[in-house]
Structure 1
Amino acid sequence: MNLKEIITIAAVATITAVGLTYAYWAGYLFPEYLTIFHAGSLSVPLDKLSEEFTSAHQRVRIALESSGSVDAVRKITDLHKSCDVLAVADYTLIPELMYPEHAEWTIIFASNEMVIAYTDESSYSAEINPENWFKVLNRSDVIIGRSDPNKDPCGYRALMVFQLAAIYYNNPSINASLWNHAKTTVRPKSVELLAGLESGQIDYAFEYKSVAVQHGLKYVELPDEINLS
């Protein structure tokens, strides 16, 4: 082996070693995976947080798995799937459904409130306001959207809003009329109603305020006695 061949082999070995070292520290060879089951309403903030986290910790790969909060819990308790972080829209689901076998502690990191989201194309969008919203929603040609109360906290919170509105406005018929509204669209999770709003298939959807803001939707703010803030 002549000197030129030795130099070539040494150069290749050095470049390979440097490349492997960089790949190792950058996380390309043996990345660490972080799995997060989360409520659909948390998709936007978790996407942003994941970008910031992986930028600071390049060896980490984050897998985000969105669903309704109840379904997220059931993935662990019923389907025996594992995750590193569980982020739900109703923290009480964790102690109620997961203690003590599947979880030992929770952290409350944010609060929210219920609103009625809509667009300029929604029927009667120029009329609806915090005083008459239940009258507008009860019109026979209005299509209401809410999520499944058996899968998503936003869904059972919408039903709670109906009940509280009946008490607040001293009108028992509000609860039954909104609950049984003929033109009601129900989806597994509240964020799945957004496409219907934007396409005009749904006029009004019960959403968290954070979701309405994140997606640039108009919304009716409800009285504090009703909005579950």
Structure 2
Amino acid sequence: MWHFNTLMSPRTERLATIVALILVLAAGVAGGWYARGSAAPSSGSGGSTLWVGAAGTLAPVLPGLGAAFANETPGVQAPAAAQTFEGSIALLKSIGALEVHYDVAAVADYRLIPNLLEPHGAAWELVFASDPMVLVYNPSVAAFAGLNTTNWAARLQSPGVLLGVANASIDPLGYA
């Protein structure tokens, strides 16, 4: 994933990300792109359900933001059952094939939206956050003894080293 250097402190950057996510959620509801053809009325309250489809990497963040948005927006609910997390490409392909509709679609690579959804499934995209790629390894593996910032790439190519990589056909992390 990309990392953009900013002059913001980590706390300010987190706050800006949360505000941007809330704005994205609000735009989805206000824009009237309701899931499953129309907003699903809540039982007895006359409200709407906020349907969210997002990249799996956003699963730790979006449920809380959806709940906060619902708490601040009369008549809107954001239950966990209305939130789907999967690979970005698979998510956008299901939207593009008109199989599923969401109020908000949040993906790991904004460049996918013009390629897979515009002009009929989306009219614009907003970059609201970025995160660094992380390499995780087991330091007890002999092939990684002495691993450092200059030799890590060669060590990953050593015989017997198994790599787990995301499937690029459904998840942008697979081609990052």
TM-score by length of 2: 0.65
1:87 matched to 2:106? The reply is yes
Alignment of 1:43 onto 2:84: no
Query: Displacement, 1:119?
Result: 4.8
TM-score with structure 1 setting the length:
0.51
From 38, 49, 56, the equivalent of 1:33 is 49
Identity within the alignment, %: 33
Corresponding position of 1:129? 148
Match for residue 77 of structure 2 among 38, 43, 60: 60
* Residues 88 and 170 in structure 2, CA contact (< 8 A), matched pair in contact too: yes
- In the alignment, structure 1 segments of 5+ residues that lack a partner are 1-26, 158-229
Higher Cα radius of gyration: 1
Structure 2 gap segments, 5+ residues each: 1-41
Q: Is the 8 A contact 1:123 1:142 kept in 2?
A: no
Q: Is the 8 A contact 2:143 2:158 kept in 1?
A: no
Distance 1:99 1:128, change over 3 A: same
Greater strand fraction, Structure 1 or Structure 2 = 1
Aligned-residue offset at 1:155: 0.3
What is the Cα deviation at residue 107 of structure 1? 1.0
Greater fraction helix: 1
Question: SS at 2:175's partner residue?
Answer: helix
Structure 1's consecutive aligned runs of 4 or more residues displaced over 4 angstroms after TM superposition are 119-126
1:45 to partner: Cα distance: 1.5
Tell me the C-alpha RMSD between the 2 structures: 2.3
TM-superposition CA deviations, 1:99-119 (whole Å, max 9, x none): 111111111101233221235
